[in-house]
C-alpha cells in the first residue's frame, strides 16, 4: 500500500489532497470523506463499510496525524471519531478501482455499488 508524501487541506476548495509515493495525487472532497467515515458510530462493527450521504457543505475543523498510519479528522458538524488510515484513504480515492468517486459499500474490502 503506497504511503503519502504530502497531505494538504484546502478549506477554501473544501478538499483534502494527498500525494502518494507512487506519484498518484488524490483529491478528496470533505463531504465525500464525511460520507466514508469509517468509525464505529458511522459504520457499526461489521465487515460492511457503507457510504452515507453527508451535508454537501460540511467542512473540516481539525486534522491531525494519528501515529504514522492514519489521519484523525474533526468535521464541521462536530463529528470527530473518524480515524482515516492511509490504506482506507487510498481505497476510497478515485484513482483506486473501481475508478471514480465511490458511493456504495465495501463488504470485506470488496466494493459493491
The residues that touch Zn ion, with contacts defined as CB under 5 A, are 37, 39, 42, 82
Instruction: In whole angstroms, give the CA distance from residue 106 to residue 113.
Output: 9
The nearest distance, CB 42 to Zn ion, in angstroms, is 3
User: Closer to Zn ion at the Cβ: 20 or 54?
Assistant: 54
User: Closer to Zn ion at the Cβ: 20 or 75?
Assistant: 75
The nearest distance, CB 52 to Zn ion, in angstroms, is 9
The nearest distance, CB 34 to Zn ion, in angstroms, is 8
Instruction: In whole angstroms, give the CA distance from residue 49 to residue 43.
Output: 6
Which triple of cell numbers denotes residue 32?
465525500
Residue appearing with cell numbers 484523525? 72
User: Closer to Zn ion at the Cβ: 27 or 74?
Assistant: 74
- CB hemisphere CA count around 86 (13 angstroms): 16
Which triple of cell numbers denotes residue 50?
457503507
User: Closer to Zn ion at the Cβ: 23 or 53?
Assistant: 53
Sign of the Cα torsion 101, 106, 109, 110 reads: negative
The nearest distance, CB 43 to Zn ion, in angstroms, is 7
Amino acid at each position: 500500500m503506497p504511503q503519502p508524501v504530502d497531505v494538504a487541506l484546502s478549506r477554501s476548495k473544501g478538499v483534502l489532497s494527498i500525494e502518494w509515493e507512487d506519484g498518484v495525487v488524490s483529491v478528496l472532497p470533505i463531504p465525500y470523506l464525511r460520507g466514508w467515515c469509517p468509525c464505529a458510530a458511522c459504520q457499526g462493527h461489521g465487515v460492511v463499510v457503507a457510504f452515507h450521504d453527508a451535508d454537501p457543505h460540511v467542512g473540516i475543523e481539525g486534522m491531525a496525524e494519528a501515529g504514522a498510519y492514519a489521519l484523525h479528522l474533526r468535521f464541521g458538524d462536530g463529528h470527530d471519531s473518524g480515524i482515516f488510515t492511509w490504506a482506507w484513504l487510498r481505497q476510497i480515492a478515485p484513482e483506486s478501482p473501481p475508478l471514480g468517486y465511490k458511493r456504495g459499500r465495501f463488504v470485506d474490502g470488496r466494493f459493491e455499488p
